[in-house]
Every structure is written in C-alpha cells, then in structure tokens.
Chain A
C-alpha cells in the first residue's frame, strides 16, 4: 500500500473516532437542565452557522453570488408556509435562474 493510502486510512479512522467521542459523554452530564439549555441554544447557532457557510462562503472567502438569491427564495417560500421540499426546490431554481440569466455568478 502506498504512503498516501495509509494516510487516507488514518484520516478515516480518526474521523470515525471523533464521531464516536460525542456519544461517550455520560448521559448524566447531557441530561442536566443546564445542558438542555446549552443544547437548544447550540442547535439554533449550529443551524444558523450552516446556513451562513453554505450561503456566503467559498473556501475561506466570503462571497455573494446566486446562493443569496436561493436564500431569499427559500425564505419567501417559508413565509408562505410552503412544504419543505418546495422550499428546497425554490432554492435550487433561484440559483439556476440567476445564473442562467447572468444576474449572478
């Protein structure tokens, strides 16, 4: 096996070990009222962070492109209480249309 293959395997094992780590935190610690408050705050923060990363970044750059149109379209769909799949499709469609018409990169 080549050196690169060993590094691939080592990275895969490490990734799995990290995933397991979260599950090894004792339930007693996770169940305290403090933890449930932290968990609910963390949930909102993580989702908002994922939105930001997916909408406005490209590698280490902040970028405004067709994805901001996708975000706007999704929010409009959400305001009108559209089903989840429609929200996702609205995002994809907005990005495609903005690029096809040359309005955004």
Chain B
C-alpha cells in the first residue's frame, strides 16, 4: 500500500471531495446574489470558511447591507478560533507554520485531525483535509461562478448526505463509553435548540461554550474523571 494513503489521509481526501464540490453551489449562488467574479473568488480564496461565505452572500442576496453581511460572516467565523486552539494544542505547530495553518483551520480539517489518535495521523489528517478542501473549494467556486445556476443543487447528488456521514464517521470512534455518548447527545440537543433562535453558525459556538463550561465544572468536582477512561486518551499524550 502507498505509504501516503494512511487512514487519516484517506479521510482527509474523502471529506475534501465531498466538501470541495459544494464550492460549485457557493460560486453559483454568489453570482446570483449579485457579487462579481472577483468578489466571489476572493471570498473562497481569502475568507475560506464556508459557513461565513454562505452567510455573506445570503445577506447580500436578501437585500441586506454589506456591513450586515460583514457582521454575519464574522460572527460565524468565531468557531474557527476555538478550532485553532484545539489544533495548536494537539499538533504543536512551529511559529513559522502558524500563518499557513490558520488559513486552513476550518470545520473539516479540524474534525479530521481530532478524529485521529496519534500525532502523525492528526497532522496528516489536518493538512490533507485543509489543503484538499482549499484547492477543490476554490476550483469549484470558479466552476460554479462560471456555470451559474445551471448546475443546480448539490443536494441532488447526495453531497449533503455525504457531509452528514463524514461527520458522524469522525464522531463514532469516540463514543465508546457512557460519558462521551452523553456529552454527544447533550451537544446535539443544545445545538438543535439553538438553531431556530440564533444566527446560522452560532449554535456550534454556543454548544462549544456549554461543553467547555461543563468540562471545567466536572473536572473541579471529580478530578478522577480525567485520570482514566476514553476521554483522556484521545489527546494522545
């Protein structure tokens, strides 16, 4: 077997294809919203965080002000700071790597990296997914922008189902004892409750805050909980 095709790189490539193809719908919708080709390409190349990009063009196409589009996109991007902390802790990047790594710190690269148990795999997962999504997302943004709405909805090709499967596939290996299962269920409930009441993207952030607060409180009450079991092992110390 090719030494580059480790489980982490395979995961990274799978998620890069599934997510990258979604760039078509972003490109097409952005042009439909009234942005020009360069503005559309700039969002994918420079902003590069899908949720924020869709929020930006969503506000514009809804007739909103550019300043409102800016706010929505920026709020949605805050979760990337949480991801950055996680990646810094687990991958221990050198200072020179940080500017590049920050740009590819998104849902997919973080999820693939966190899904691995060993540091080399975590690193390969992060870079394969991050760079893979970056290249394909930008390529397909261009394709979508040029083809316009003719391509139709990527949901018709089942890509939204692929995304769901991709994320549950990353979560699954962690659900080996009762505690992570309960945390996952609680997180799903918090997210679902938050979705109708806060702006898109914020439910994830809100869930992260709740989980962090819970973790801090539970660690204080029962320090033993961090000394055994599955939860700690995933950090691969």
Whether, in the assembled complex, A48 has its beta carbon less than 8 Å from a beta carbon of chain B, the answer is yes
Give every chain B residue within 8 A of A30 (Cβ-Cβ). Answer: 85, 88-89
Contacting B at CB under 8 A, from A5-29, are 5, 7-16, 18-23, 25, 27
- Chain B's interface size range is 35 or more
Given A15-B74, A41-B215: A54 in contact with B195 (beta carbons within 8 A): no
Check if B114 is an interface residue, CB within 8 A of chain A. Answer: yes
Contact of A19 among B38, B77, B184 (CB under 8 A): B77
- Residues from chain B with Cβ under 8 Å of A3 in the complex: 66
Contact of A7 among B69, B170, B207, B215 (CB under 8 A): B69
Shortest CB-to-CB span from A91 to chain B, Å, is 2
Point out the residue from B85, B107, B186 that lies within 8 Å of A25, measured CB to CB.
B85
Contact call A56/B168, Cβ cutoff below 8 A? no
Distance (Å) between the CB of B91 and the closest chain A CB?
Answer: 10
Specify which chain B residues have a CB less than 8 angstroms from the CB of A16 in the assembled complex. 46-47, 102-103
Please pick, from B74, B115, B171, B190, the residue contacting A51 in the complex, using a CB distance under 8 A: B171
With contacts A3-B66, A60-B196 taken as known, whether A39 is within 8 angstroms of B89 at the C-beta atoms is yes
Main secondary structure of the interface of B (DSSP, over half): helix
B26 at the interface (CB under 8 A from A): no
- Complex Cα distance, B171 from A77, in Å, reads 14
Is there contact, CB below 8 Å, between B226 and A88? Answer: no
Within 8 A of A (CB), among B146-192: 155-172, 174-175, 180, 183-188, 190-192
Q: Which of B4-38 contact A (CB under 8 A)?
A: 7, 10-11, 14-15, 18, 35, 38
Q: How far is the CB of B118 from chain A (nearest CB, A)?
A: 15
- 13 additional A-B residue pairs with CB within 8 Å, beyond A41-B218, A47-B111, A73-B165: A3-B66, A5-B38, A12-B42, A13-B46, A15-B48, A22-B84, A36-B232, A38-B212, A47-B167, A53-B204, A54-B160, A71-B165, A88-B166
Question: Residues of A at under 8 Å CB distance from B?
Answer: 3-5, 7-16, 18-23, 25, 27, 30-31, 33-57, 59-62, 66-67, 69-71, 73-75, 77-78, 83-85, 87-96, 99
